[in-house]
Amino acid sequence: FLMVDTYLQAPVILGLNAHPGDRMKWAYRKAGGTMLVTSVTTAVCFYSNTLSVMLVVREFGVFMGTVVLINYFHVITILPSAMLVSDLYLVPWWKRVSDSYLVPLWKRVGDSYLVLLWKRVNDLYLVPL
């Protein structure tokens, strides 16, 4: 969630017209180090279970430490790519489709849209965000 929140926070810092690539660079600089530190410390804690005398606990420690490091690699590579694809292609496509076929009725709570109501002819669809 840290990379996503930082990426969504970037327009406030960089301006509303900031290019998604610049937003992602800023998010990497801000969130990358924090995610690295938390992932490494978590992996080290799991790897410390290899000092146990119980075989099951040792195997669990090796497995979970490796999973945490692989997860960090995925969060640093795949998640930002998916976020950019979504921001550059899927969101504009969805806006075109929804504006063409549906009449949006937004229920806004605070600064976030919690529920999206679509009215199409006489039908009412509830789509959670």
Average pLDDT, the chain: 79
pTM higher than 0.75, yes or no?
no
Rounded percentage of the chain residues whose pLDDT exceeds 70: 74
pLDDT the model gives residue 5: 85
Q: Which of 31, 35, 39 is nearest to 7 (CA)?
A: 31
pLDDT the model gives residue 12: 85
Burial (CB < 10 A; 0-12, 13-18, 19+), residue 81, is exposed
- pLDDT greater than 80 at residue 58: yes
User: pLDDT category, 114, cuts 50, 70, 90?
Assistant: very low
